[in-house]
Amino acid sequence: MLFLAVFCGFLAEYQLEHKIEKDREKEYIKSLIEDIENDATLIDNQNAFNKEQIKKADSLIEMLNNPVAVKTQTNLIYYLARVSHRTIYFTYNDRTIEQLNNSGGFRLIHKQKATNKIMEYYRLVKRIQQLESLSAPESEAYKKTAARIFNARTFRNMIKDTLVVRTEDNTPLLTTDQITLNELCGMMQYQTGTRFQVISTKERLKTMGVELIKVLKEEYHLK
């Protein structure tokens, strides 16, 4: 009788632990879905920003290749040169995935299909980070060339609080040498190429996120 009582107690404890783990697993999945939904919103905002930056870069390239604009529209050229190289990085929502990685929570994810899809999603996140890492050296190279073309005092005077504004004056460029201007345009084009890759990869991630959420909801019977 004592053995039976101990055995029944063991079973009850096992079932309780099993239920606790199942509940934790479902909570992780719900939290992960929230993170992926927030990533989708972030992707939309950042892709819109990058598309605007591409337009600004294209406008700058056109103006630097227009001798009339180089002489008469430098206030716009200065503005575009000041803002068009700026970039933002994908600070994805890592709350849940970091908990899963650091606390051994992945052992709670028993659905193999769900695990595979989760890993695919975050591998693509790493790919985005790799692409975005290219923008830092591209931006530094751009700044070095820009310093030979644009008046630093004018750049400074364009900062109002935290905003960049166009000046009223058409401050002359430090040089109108076509080789130097073309060098800057080439750097802008490299940045644009990187932006296009980032935009495309983020769109893929957004699509993958939609598919992942669908799988998670199906596997865990969530609405």
Q: What pLDDT digit, counting tens, does each position of 205-222 carry? A: 999 999 999 999 998 888
Give the residue-averaged pLDDT of 197-205: 98
Whose tokens are 């609080």? That residue is 161
Higher pLDDT residue, 6 or 114? 114
Largest CA distance in the chain: 101
Cα separation, 203 vs 48, whole angstroms: 11
Tokens encoding 70: 């180089």
Cα separation, 64 vs 178, whole angstroms: 9
Total-model pTM:
0.87
Contacts with 94 (C-beta within 8 Å, 6 or more apart), sequence order: 35
Domain count, the chain: 1
How much is the pLDDT for 12?
46
51 within 8 A of 199, measured Cβ to Cβ: yes
- Tell me the torsion sign for CA atoms 190, 191, 192, 196: positive
Lowest mean pLDDT among 56-60, 63-67, 103-107, 109-113: 103-107
β-strand partners of 160: 163
How much is the pLDDT for 1?
54
Over its C-alpha atoms, the chain yields an Rg (Å, rounded) of: 26
- Express each pLDDT in 101-146 by its tens digit: 876 666 777 788 888 999 999 999 999 999 999 998 999 999 999 9
Range of the domain at 62: 2-219
